[in-house]
Amino acid sequence: MTTYDADVIVIGAGLAGLAATAELAAAGRRAILLEQEPEQSFGGQAFWSFGGLFLVDSPEQRRLRIRDSHALAWQDWLGTAAFDRPEDHWPRRWAEAYVDFAAGEKRAWLHRLGVRFFPVVGWAERGGYDATGHGNSVPRFHITWGTGPGLLEPFVRQVRDAAARGLADLRFRHRVTALSRTAGAVDTVSGEILAPSTAARGAASSREKAGEFVLRAPAVIVASGGIGGNHDLVRAHWPRRLGEPPERMLSGVPAHVDGAMLGITEAAGGCLVNRDRMWHYTEGIENWDPVWARHGIRILPGPSPLWFDATGRRLPVPLFPGFDTLGTLEHIMHTGHDHTWFVLDRRIIGKEFTLSGSDQNPDLTGRSIRGVLGRARAGVPGPVQAFLDRGADFVVERDLDALVRGMNALTGKELIDADGLRREIAARDREMANPFTKDLQIAALRGARGYLGDRATRIAAPHRILDPAAGPLIAVRLSILTRKTLGGLETDLSARVLTPAGEPLPGVYAAGEAAGFGGGGMHGYRSLEGTFLGGCLFSGRAAGRAAARDLG
């Protein structure tokens, strides 16, 4: 008779792994949760997140007079995903199930667990094409009160409670190197025990080997994340449709997010699909206080900054800030340069710059109502002011000639002509003189201010950027920031990993980014935002429930 160490082995203690482990414990199953990083990094990448979640027809939306529906959300998802491959069968099935979840029980389920939301709903990925194209037709980006740590809290609590009851065995510093089979089913997980580490959350930890391990269970759930910290792998799978990969990239995730488990699962018989689908941001700035190597922060901009390529040419319609991430990335990578510029003023940066991440939003992360109200009155928020004062990518000057000299000095190349940049900005400013305009960015920002949430908290009143009263002028160098893997291990709706022949790989399930958030890529080519954390929760929950059920 085979002796097992647990009912299920879960690989990866991020949000998807925690959701799966919580479900297993709720079903009375014993799980071993393996994590290569030290306990300080418990919760994975979700800890650093802004905590945004995609919800449909929520009470928060209705209070702001946002009319949303399942039909509209599915229309937006299909227009954004643009599924067009045979291997999109399961991703599309997962997408349908996820939109049902987001329009159905998702909010109530999270609410029962204690999750609450900031009352103003954000409008991410606005698109700018026709009704069936990419983008959110309405605001759907719900910020968790407490940001990423607030979303993690109930799942960390459930898993620690399970550990106290003997249903979860938490093993940090366990790095998986192989999955192997007995009688055709994957039931053995082996690897290295790494030396203890006091590295801070997200910081590089030692890879010194202190021992080895072999563990056995009739089911294994792979929840190990994607490839965003492995720039070599990002470049290897970079899609040709986006041009050549950038020479210089920042990292939105720690280096240990390296995709190793994807290769290990593939070697064990799993099928990887949509490797060339990925989600990288175009508004990355170097963190002046980095935690990991090449640590970048994403600017979540409002629609007012003027966006110029490396040579001072304005980006084309509809590539405005916050409208089409991958469309902008594709355009940038065909310019021959891998950086761009925001040009704006102090009035705009004070109202419209939010920095993504829990650490850059201490008021929301700390659930401080006073802090949030203070942000609205502060002019420039403290975390943004810190980048203005210390950030390597910021140029602040009173006049445009000096600003351009600073921009060229920052890149070490005379790429931008002051007269040309002045013509572009002055032309835009002339369009502000009356309510009519042919500048579609101005039309877009005026339209966005028709939404109460944006007008109150997010978008500066339209004004001339060269107006001295709005100054000083600010230029921000933007770099490509690696983030999410949209493809992954192909899974059916029970989160079972499939083989290249389309059959379930016995004993193996996958969740979170390792599974392309479901099916091997439920987002298709693009994301509507707020769908990554939710995808981890949804697929992790599905994997935990399916594994518990399939054990009989």
Q: At what angle do helices 532-550 and 89-103 cross, to 10 degrees?
A: 100
Name the burial class of residue 198, with classes exposed (0-12), middle (13-18) and buried (19+) by CB atoms within 10 angstroms of its CB: exposed
Instruction: Please tell me whether the overall predicted TM-score, pTM, comes out greater than 0.95 for this model.
Output: yes
Cis peptide before 318 (omega within 30 of 0): yes
pLDDT at 373: 78
pLDDT tops 70 at residue 1: no
Residue 108, judged by CB atoms within 10 A of its CB (0-12, 13-18, 19+), counts as: exposed
| CB-based burial label for 469 (10 Å; 0-12, 13-18, 19+) | exposed
Scanning the structure block, which residue is given the tokens 């690696």? 482
Rounded (10°) angle between helices 89-103 and 70-81: 150
CB 96 within 8 A of CB 102: no
Q: How much is the pLDDT for 351? A: 93
pLDDT in tens, 229-261: 999 999 999 999 999 999 999 999 999 999 999
Confidence band for 371, pLDDT divided at 50, 70 and 90 = confident
User: Which tokens hold the place of 273?
Assistant: 């699909």
Q: Which one-letter DSSP state was computed for residue 501?
A: T
Q: Which residues are 397's β-sheet partners?
A: 473
Instruction: Identify the bridge partners of residue 117 per DSSP, sorted by sequence position.
Output: 144
Residue partners of 390: CB distance under 8 A and separation at least 6: 288, 289
Beta strands, E only, 113-173? 141-143, 168-172
Task: Give tens-digit pLDDT for 170-192.
Answer: 999 999 999 999 989 999 999 99
Which amino acid type is present at position 473? L
Rounded to 5°, the CA angle 376-377-380 comes to 80
Q: Are strands 296-300 and 354-355 parallel, antiparallel or unpaired?
A: antiparallel
Give the integer Cα–Cα distance in Å for 175 and 316: 46
User: What's the pLDDT at 372?
Assistant: 84
Measured between alpha carbons, how far is 282 from 320 in angstroms, rounded to an integer?
Answer: 11
Helix residue ranges, H only, 391-460: 400-411, 418-430, 440-448, 452-457
What confidence tens digit (pLDDT) does each residue in 10-25 have? 999 999 999 999 999 9
The residue ranges of every structural domain in the chain are 8-224+486-551, 288-481
**Cα end-to-end span (Å), the chain:** 17
Write the pLDDT tens digit of every residue in 121-161.
999 999 999 999 999 999 999 999 999 999 999 999 999 99
Question: Positive or negative, the Cα torsion across 46, 50, 55, 60?
Answer: positive
pLDDT for residue 378: 65
Q: Which fold has domain 8-224+486-551?
A: FAD/NAD(P)-binding domain (3.50.50)
pLDDT in tens, 405-416: 999 999 999 999
Q: Are strands 31-35 and 8-11 parallel, antiparallel or unpaired?
A: parallel
Q: In this structure, are residues 8 and 31 in contact, taking their beta carbons and an 8 Å threshold?
A: yes
pLDDT higher than threshold 90 for residue 82: yes
pLDDT tens digits, one per residue of 478-530: 999 999 999 999 999 999 999 999 999 999 999 999 999 999 999 999 999 99
Residues 213, 174 contacting (CB under 8 angstroms): yes
pLDDT value of position 355: 94
Reduced to 3 states (helix: H, G, I; strand: E, B; else coil), residue 175 is strand
- pLDDT tens for each residue of 318-333: 999 999 999 999 999 9
Q: Which two tokens stand for residue 551?
A: 């054990």
Q: Kindly indicate the confidence band of residue 552, based on its pLDDT and cuts at 50, 70 and 90.
A: confident
Q: Cα separation of 354 and 361, whole Å?
A: 8
Question: Phi and psi (nearest 5°) for 225?
Answer: 85, -165
Is residue 134 within 8 A of residue 125, CB to CB? The reply is yes
Output phi, psi for 326, to 5 deg. -75, -30
Would you tell me how many other CB atoms lie within 10 Å of the CB of residue 535?
30
Helix (H, G, I), strand (E, B) or coil at 216: strand
Hey, is 482 helix, strand or coil? strand
Q: How confident is the model at residue 376 (pLDDT cuts 50, 70, 90)?
A: low
